[in-house]
Structures are given as C-alpha cells and as structure tokens.
Amino acid sequence: MRGIVISPVKINGKNNMSISQIDPIKLRQYLLYWDKIDLPQSNIISFRNTPEIDYLQNVGLLKQTRLQISLSGAMTEVFLKGQISAFKMNNEVEKGCWTLGQENIDLVLPKNESVLDRGIELNLYNSLPIPSPEVSLEEIIHFKEKRKDELMEFRFLMDHFYQDLIKSVDSERAMETYLQKIERNINAIDRTMKESVKKRLLGNLKVRFDVGEMIKNSILGAASAPTLTIPVAAGAILGAASSIRLNTEMLIKPKGIPTELKDYAYLFYVNEDLM
C-alpha cells in the first residue's frame, strides 16, 4: 500500500499562502500512482469538499484526518506543521508507506524536519504522465485494477530510483538522468510495439488464390466463420469460379513488451489508455 497526504494550500513565500480546491489534475496524479489519499482537516484550516473528493471518500480511497493545531507563529508554518503531523500519524500505522503532496511544484516543509527526502520522491512523480481532467476518476480506478501487476513492477523501479537519489551527492543531476531514462524507455516501448504490429501483420496475413476451385455455396454469406470467401469471375479460362481466401490470423495481437522494459509498462499503458 502507498499513501499520500495532500493539501489544497499553495505556498508562495514564507508568510504567503492561498487555499483553493484541489487541482483536478493533481488529484488524478495522486489517484493514479498512490493507493490511499489523506486530505487532512484542522481546527484552523478547513475547506469545502468537491464532488470528486466526496466520491473518493465514498469508495474508500480518500480519508480526512482531523487535526488539532495550536495557532502560534506564521500561518504557513502552522499549516505545514499540521500536514507533517498527519504524515507522521499515518506512517506510525503503516511505516514507510506514506509521502507528502502539495499544490506547489516543489515540496515546502517546515524548518528542522527530517522528511526533506520526501521532496525528492514527489519531484520524481511530478514528471510522470498524468491524465487530463476529462478522464474520470472511475476510469483511473478501473485502469489501476486492470494494470495492477504493471503498477507493482513500476513501484519497484521507482523505489530503486528514490533510494539512489537520496544517496546521490548531486541529486538534481541524478534526478534529471533518471527522468530522461524513463522518457527514453517509454519511447522505446512505443516504438517496439508499433514495429511488432507491423511485422506480425506482414507475417501472418495469409492470402490463398484457389483458381479453378468450384464454389460449393453460391451465396457469399454462407462462408465459414474463420474464413472469408470472395467469389471472383474466372473468365473463359476454366469456365468455373475462383476464390480468394483471407485467413483471420491477421488479427493476431502484437508481441508483448520486451522483458528489459517491463518495469516501464505502467507508464506506457497510462499513455495508451488514459491520455
């Protein structure tokens, strides 16, 4: 299980913040890559739920942790400490399974907190494909159920990247390298799949010309299910009908994703099925 603690608050400076509804694109990102979403409410900062938030809450994919926050210091610090509290509460129950998400491009955290590395994880996920608001939450949930195995493999890959980034001396450069690698491998999968379709169609489209074969059924609709039979005038050569048979093997599906690229299959299917 993977969870993310999110917020509708956007922080634009040390003492400058704004509260709005959760961005529908960000909500789809959270739903696509995480299993549980926590949108905390507090005694100081509260907001109205959207129909999409209510929907995710009703299907058990979103919860709202209630927080009691003491009003001391700048509002931005008060809010951030509240989100960190919800994050720590969740991780006490499910250790290492939760991360932080914000409306900001980069994660903003209070001083002297030990969760700065979560910003690395969020930035990594911020560069992955995200469905548009036109894609319904139901479609994303169905997609995740269908692609559960690919999601698990992809998470192993991202965990590996995440651990390497934390250890890296130059994390920004390492991040850029990994993002380029992800993009390159998605393109490689797409190219391989397209080439596979082309090759298999050429290799499996069987056309037989049976010149002189007597047509047993004069009506075209009487042809058998796996074979399409088309009568052709034979002229005066043989004085009998001929036929062309097209085997339906041309409908064979293309080969699967290459083994060395299977870790990236989830992202490939996101682009194919949801974008």
Per residue in 172-194, pLDDT (tens digit) is 888 889 889 988 988 888 888 77
Q: What is the pLDDT of residue 70?
A: 76
DSSP 3-state assignment of 150?
A: helix
User: What is the C-alpha separation between 70 and 194, in angstroms, rounded?
Assistant: 58
| Largest separation between any pair of C-alpha atoms in the chain | 101
Q: Tell me if 124 sits within 8 A of 180, measured CB to CB.
A: no
**CA angle 206–212–217, rounded 5-degree value:** 80
Can you name the residues that pair with 4 across neighbouring β-strands? 37, 99
Q: Are strands 3-5 and 9-13 parallel, antiparallel or unpaired?
A: unpaired
Secondary element (H or E) of residue 36: strand 36-38
Residue 244 bridge partners (DSSP): 209, 230
Look up residue 10 and give its amino acid: K
Virtual torsion, Cα 80, 83, 88, 94, nearest 10 deg: -150
219-273, pLDDT tens digit by residue? 444 444 444 444 444 443 444 444 545 444 444 444 578 888 899 999 989 988 9
Q: Residue 259, SS3?
A: helix
**25: phi then psi, degrees, rounded to nearest 5:** -70, -45
| pTM of the predicted structure, to 2 decimals | 0.74
The model's pLDDT over 74-124, given as tens digits with 9 standing for 90+, comes to: 777 777 778 888 988 998 999 888 988 877 666 676 666 656 566 677 777
- Residues β-bridged to residue 38: 5, 63
